[in-house]
Structure 1
Amino acid sequence: MNNDRQEAGMSRAIVGTSTPQVTAREKVMGRAQYAGDIKLPGMLHAKVLRSPHPHARIVRIDTAAARALPGVKLVATGYDVPARHWGPHRKEQRILACGVVRHVGEEVAAVVAVSEEIARDALDLVRVEYELLPALLTPAAALAAGAPEIHAGTGNIGHEMRIERGDVEAAFAACAAVYEATYDMHSQYPGYLEPMASVAAQDGNGRLTVWASTQSVFLARARLAEALDRPVSTIRVVQATTGGGFGAKIVEENNSLICAFLASRLERPVRLVNNRLEDFQGARASVPMQVWLRMGLSAEGVILAKDVRITAECGAYSGLAGDVMHVTAMRSDNMHRVQNVRSHAVLAYTNNPPRGAFRGFGGQQMQFPLNCHLTVLAGMLGIDPIEVHKRNAIGAGETSVHGWKISSTGMAECLDMTRRAIGWDEKRAAPRGTGTRRRGVGIAAAMHVSGNRTLGNWDGSTILLKMNEDGRVMLQTSECDMGQGANTMLSQICAQELGIPLSHVTVMAPDTDTAPFCLGSLASRVTIISGNAVLRAAREARQKLLALAAEKLGVQAQQLVIADGRIAVPGQPDKSATLAEIARLHIFRHGGEGIHVRATYDAPTVMHDADYYGNVAPAHSFAAQAVEVEVDTCTGQVTVIDSFVADDCGKAINPLAVHGQTHGATVQAIGWALYEHLQYEDGRLMNGNFADYTMPTADAVPMLRTDVVESNDPNGPYGAKGASETAILPGAAAIANAVFDAVGVRIQSLPITPEKVLAGLRALRETEAAHA
């Protein structure tokens, strides 16, 4: 039996079956073509000179020696690029810095040469004279009275928001337990395997093509058009194979802009690939925040009031950091039935590198404080923290305090599953050890959106489905697969609906010239939004096939079924035809044409109003995580020895991919909580490589255990919703809660380092001695 027949025999169970990614073979065999692998005739190579200062005026740039170096074709500075500024919201960046640099690593000049080595040598010949300016390296310094402005007229505030619902003070007065604390959370580098890379080429008609590692080809095209000051239709963006994004490759990287500008100037192909240090300096790491949180519960453990003050740091440019802070300020309110909430959030400009989107998009910056808080408050009331979560968990059919309509939720089921898996009740009841190594357990829960109507009044996706004459299908979409398995999910839905093997579906690479407009991979939207679009397209194609097959076979369409690549009347072998036969017949007849279907799905949501009230997402994912840690009281080292995550993904279209995404998110959360920390000295990054920037490796994490809860969302394809971001949210709090359970030390600033644990133990001993 050949491979196609083997797949065909399983076609009825494609959705819900663990399936290797359709892109996996090319990747593991080394045949996948990433942007850095692209080679074009006459291609040149670019390198970028970056600022060594956090804040300085550019007095003079001497490029003469660099231009004279044999093999150099172009040296460009900020005075050569278009004067138009770009940015997701505030228009404040240039392709290359002009006049002023505002952070270490800002792009000052670019060199193009016949080889990367010559371009790198030419960078050493560019002479830049700087006049140093005062550098504001903390939000406190930037927001202090009289501080110099990084951007004129801003007061160093990139964004500010206030929300208040209910009567917060009256609710606090009615509380049986109130707790307040301040939490400090650092910035995390996205850590993708493939650093940013772009290749650009302009043809004889002046059309510019850019091959890029991106999460959204259309958002990338819009940004290129804005920065280059040219019509979008003169630009084509093609997504190359993308080796991870985690938010940092949405709309904020500068690599593709520089590459595109250089190619347009030279009218020759140009390649620009960041090395790892350049990527550390140029990528948008997550937004660091300080969160002051005050919460109050009734004697029964019901959340009555929540008050939040947030100071976030966007660095030198605001980018998407304001949107991230928006999520931190309000999203977690929607997972519980709280009715009295108040948030005040301020985003500060500093002379640190810009911050931006990161997996979880600001959710973890509130889930860490919130889950730590709820564990403390539960202890004050003598209630199990799992019970506190369950008593307050919002239910399906309810509307949250901010107007979010919850169509499905598996939060209670996630908590119960996690409780059993970790042995929560037994381990909580066991006596705590008194030896050098002590163990404790902690738990946390979280929610995330699946889709988000905030970029504009559209959160949709369009799919073009074409069936070839052999009955195989091509799908055209500009939703991006950045390694999370989007192409596999789309192929599974299409194959399921059309009764064909998975191998008979090909998802084309996103290309703005040929694919329909889509927003791309962000806000965990691809499964629910584009999944619904391909479901509609496949069902329309199915109806076309059934109608023509019914005419050919002389039966009613409702008598026919499609399975294993054939259309047939069950039990009547003579009343059947292959999909290929019907696909050809659809063309070769009077008035015939190929089977081409276009389908669009726009989520049934509404944009929030000026007071941030509105149902912005069609579905919401939930997760819970429990961990067991071991704390060495001599060294302060914290080791995660067990972890279990329950992930409510609605319906697991591909359980293998869901587990993989959950594992990856869990490891990133462990890294943020315990290991990763960007170290700066006077605004200069000191650990911009994987040797010095400590990320968790296989020996630093336990055997990761996960399972799914299928709440079957009514808005999702087959009930599915997002499954790539929620699992990153509870990890840090679960670890912090477990450390407290083990040794009685509450760590409220990340990462949880041995030094902080030892300091906490010392303070605990001093307190105990003072009360002895």
Structure 2
Amino acid sequence: MGRAVYAGDIKQAGMLHAKVLRSPYPHARIVRIDTAAARALRGVKLVLTGEDTPSRLWGTHRKEQRILAAGVVRHVGEEVAAVVAVDEETARDALDLIRVEYEELPAIFSPDAALADGAAELHPGTRNIAHEMHIERGDVEAGFARAAVVYEATYDMHSQYPGYLEPMATVAAQDGNGRLTVWASTQSVFLARARLAEALDRPVSTIRVIQAVTGGGFGAKIVEESNSLIAALLATRLDRPVRLVNNRLEDFLGARSSVPARVWLKMGLDAQGMIVAKDVNIVAECGAYAGLAGDVMHVTAMRSDNMHRVENVRSNAVLAYTNNPPRGAFRGFGGQQMQFPLNSHLTMLAEMLGMDPIEVHKRNAIRSGDTSVHGWKIGSSGLVECLEQTREAIQWDARRADASRRTGTRRRGLGIAAAMHVSGNRTLGNWDGSTIVLKVNEDGRVMLLTSECDMGQGANTMLSQICAQELGIALSHVTVSAPDTDVAPFCLGSLASRVTIISGNAVMRAAREAKQKLLAVAAGKLGVPQDELDLIDGVIRARHDDTTRATLAEIARLHIFRHGGEGLMVRATYDAPTVMHDANYYGNIAPAYSFAAQAVEVEVDTVTGQITLIDSFVSDDCGKAINPLAVHGQTHGATVQAIGWTLYEHVQVEDGRILNGNFADYTMPTADAVPALRTDVVESVEPNGPYGAKGASETAILPGAAAIANAVYDAIGVRIASLPITPEKVLAALRERKENEARHA
């Protein structure tokens, strides 16, 4: 309706506009910066360089960044200077007047070069290793020894730009008391506040963060962007409101795209199709700064193990620094980087055994009540049901039996893949909770104060639904306030598909407590025992005498206007019944786990290499679907992002420079590139979830790449193990197969 106020729409009296100068080099020493001409330009109010910023370093785990680069730049696009002026045009003109003298330094552009003996270190003392992991359970070698079939291959996966509709934007202002207020496009106001306090070297209580309406995040707006830090710094230096909004070119440079990875995978199945051993080596790349990339690699290294009944697993993973742009969190959070290899492998292994891949998936699928190899307690699993629902919807058996689909130059193939994701995650710290404050106003309507962030996934609607259901009021009578660190209680925000199960439980607790308080007051007024009263459609009435009643508004006012009365405000907290994993990554880190399966049909043109997606069906086990329409919308969006990563999208970096950092050159799937998207849900009923619900916004992105790769293999008999799957790769693989056949003829 055009009424949403995004961060870029906010206007403050006396507001100024900022722009950022970025490094053109992947690695260089900053010899000298001359800002005199820029400062002299009419309308320019401030120019800052790295030497003007606090010396305290910030970072998610590793403290390694300044707000603006000082002394050295480590990637193309790194922020070097910032200008504030009366308008964006003047600020942009001032950037052109800043003269920076650089001394280029040797740069490292690949993980292999970064990890080679004697390689120069991007960050002293790191050996260019940002994170590494070693996990082993059971006896992997013994498992392989009893395998009927073993398959190994290496897979390469690339970076995907988050592609949100709204580029990163911030408005920051400091008042006369020295308190800083920041309006930002963010997934977590409290994590944003902590990062601002760290980078600006000031107490958290002097900073207020308010979430503006957020036009998508997909992980990139959690805690890694620099936009809000720069805007906040500039506002504190000027005591004037400052607006900093990335255009799309700037956002490609400033946003963290997904973590690229190379995965070597070896797996063995016994004659019955059961996984007996799994061995993984991962080399991932974070670029110049670590951010959340280590956490992403953590997921790649071990999460997929938990979707199967497997006992023998080994993972070795290393995350390398390079002089490429930093990479970080992205929807699915590392799950894609293992689900593509894993599901490709399972299809190949099923073929080696002469089994249907769906049957292999089902035999190995973890079930409700199981404890996984890494100690994850599965309260509900609809994985088998997802596979069966997908099988029926895609007409798997009938289509696979049709031999004519693999004749001629245009050949069709079917592919299947499955995945799991967490709903909540106790890994950022030993708390995975949410606190809700519920206020009942004098008219009987409700205000929810929360700092869980809605970034378009429908969190506010879900919270309103639960509140309305518990209190027996209309959905329109519930308002969810914008997350605000000064007003709302502490919450972690939108990450790890946690909001439905964590904050949903908190709202349920708050609403039930508020209801009991209202019924207690009503019991006194109506002369009816509290346990004989019902609250339905905004009216409290005696269960056995419909004429004895009072409106919710009447009782809400009476809760105030009586001796000892007060406005009705309830605070409730839900902290998930989970544990921090131990030093060996063992422990139940989430209150619930979501599952999904996807099947696709593709058509491959063997003359041009073009792949056309003919049909797609995704089955999503989200527990109880509180808002089915929103679940389907999230599944559709995740499916399209997966299609983009698999066939089209690729942040192409050469010598540290992004070659396609704009929507003219960065190819994303459009409506005419995808089939009619078909989805359904499996409601497995999660015992820890509100009404049995769990997360439903990320799992559906995970199986797409493997499903498409498996369908391409089914169509033309060649396995593409590097993404994206382009026509050039298809033709090269067909040519290589033809040459091999000729050699062995």
Into which bin does the TM-score normalised by the smaller protein fall? over 0.9
User: Could you tell me which residue of structure 2 aligns to residue 428 of structure 1?
Assistant: 400
The aligned runs of 1:114-129 (5 Å cut-off) are: 114-129=86-101
The aligned runs of 1:148-547 (5 Å cut-off) are: 148-431=120-403, 432-547=405-520
Distance 2:229 2:44 in 1: 20
SS in 1 for 2:520: helix
Matched, 1:701 2:701: no
Contact kept, 8 Å, 2:156 with 2:722, in 1: the verdict is yes
Distance 2:564 2:406 in 1: 81
User: Could you tell me which residue of structure 1 aligns to residue 582 of structure 2?
Assistant: 609
Distance 1:500 1:642 in 2: 42
Distance 2:577 2:278 in 1: 29
Contact kept, 8 Å, 2:416 with 2:706, in 1: the verdict is yes
Distance 2:653 2:431 in 1: 40
SS in 1 for 2:392: helix
Shift of 1:770: 2.7
User: Could you tell me which residue of structure 2 aligns to residue 654 of structure 1?
Assistant: 627
| Amino acid paired to 1:707 | D
Shift of 1:413: 0.2
User: Could you tell me which residue of structure 2 aligns to residue 139 of structure 1?
Assistant: 111
Distance 1:593 1:405 in 2: 43
| Amino acid paired to 1:342 | R
- Structure 2: runs of 5+ lacking an equivalent: none
Shift of 1:571: 5.2
Distance 2:648 2:229 in 1: 33
Distance 2:531 2:743 in 1: 82
| Amino acid paired to 2:192 | A
Matched, 1:59 2:31: yes
Distance 2:653 2:295 in 1: 25
SS in 2 for 1:193: coil
Q: Which moved more, 1:548-557 or 1:297-306?
A: 548-557
Contact kept, 8 Å, 2:406 with 2:413, in 1: the verdict is no
Distance 1:156 1:68 in 2: 41
Shift of 1:555: 1.1
Distance 1:385 1:135 in 2: 44
SS in 2 for 1:696: coil
Distance 1:728 1:526 in 2: 18
User: Could you tell me which residue of structure 1 aligns to residue 701 of structure 2?
Assistant: 728
| Amino acid paired to 1:768 | E
Match of 1:716 among 642, 667, 689: 689
Distance 2:72 2:631 in 1: 46
| Amino acid paired to 1:506 | T
SS in 2 for 1:76: strand
SS in 2 for 1:585: helix
Normalising by structure 2, report the TM-score.
0.99
Distance 2:628 2:79 in 1: 42
Distance 1:449 1:217 in 2: 22
| Amino acid paired to 1:492 | Q
Distance 1:114 1:132 in 2: 34
Shift of 1:372: 0.1
Matched, 1:635 2:626: no
Distance 1:702 1:725 in 2: 20
Listed one character per residue, the Cα deviations across residues 403-455 of structure 1 (whole Å, up to 9, x for unaligned) are: 00000000000000000000100111110432111100000000000000001
| Amino acid paired to 1:765 | K
Distance 1:108 1:719 in 2: 49
Match of 1:670 among 643, 654, 668: 643
Listed one character per residue, the Cα deviations across residues 208-227 of structure 1 (whole Å, up to 9, x for unaligned) are: 00000000000000000000
| Amino acid paired to 2:663 | F
| Amino acid paired to 2:513 | E
Listed one character per residue, the Cα deviations across residues 139-187 of structure 1 (whole Å, up to 9, x for unaligned) are: 1111111111000110000001100010100110110000000000000
| Amino acid paired to 1:294 | K
Matched, 1:81 2:53: yes
Shift of 1:681: 2.3
Listed one character per residue, the Cα deviations across residues 20-47 of structure 1 (whole Å, up to 9, x for unaligned) are: xxxxxxxxx2111000000000000000
Distance 1:652 1:64 in 2: 59
Shift of 1:329: 0.2
Distance 2:139 2:593 in 1: 27
| Amino acid paired to 2:144 | F
SS in 2 for 1:58: strand
Distance 2:580 2:451 in 1: 23
Distance 1:570 1:640 in 2: 57
SS in 2 for 1:108: strand
Listed one character per residue, the Cα deviations across residues 84-123 of structure 1 (whole Å, up to 9, x for unaligned) are: 0000000000000000000000000000001110000000
Normalising by structure 1, report the TM-score.
0.96
Aligned residues: 744
SS in 2 for 1:574: strand
Match of 1:689 among 658, 662, 674: 662
| Amino acid paired to 1:316 | A
The aligned runs of 1:564-579 (5 Å cut-off) are: 564-570=537-543, 572-579=545-552
User: Could you tell me which residue of structure 1 aligns to residue 522 of structure 2?
Assistant: 549
Contact kept, 8 Å, 2:451 with 2:484, in 1: the verdict is yes
Listed one character per residue, the Cα deviations across residues 374-424 of structure 1 (whole Å, up to 9, x for unaligned) are: 000000000111111110111111110000000000000000000000010
SS in 2 for 1:124: helix
SS in 1 for 2:13: coil
Contact kept, 8 Å, 2:406 with 2:716, in 1: the verdict is no
SS in 2 for 1:457: coil
| Amino acid paired to 1:769 | A
| Amino acid paired to 2:287 | G
User: Could you tell me which residue of structure 2 aligns to residue 600 of structure 1?
Assistant: 573
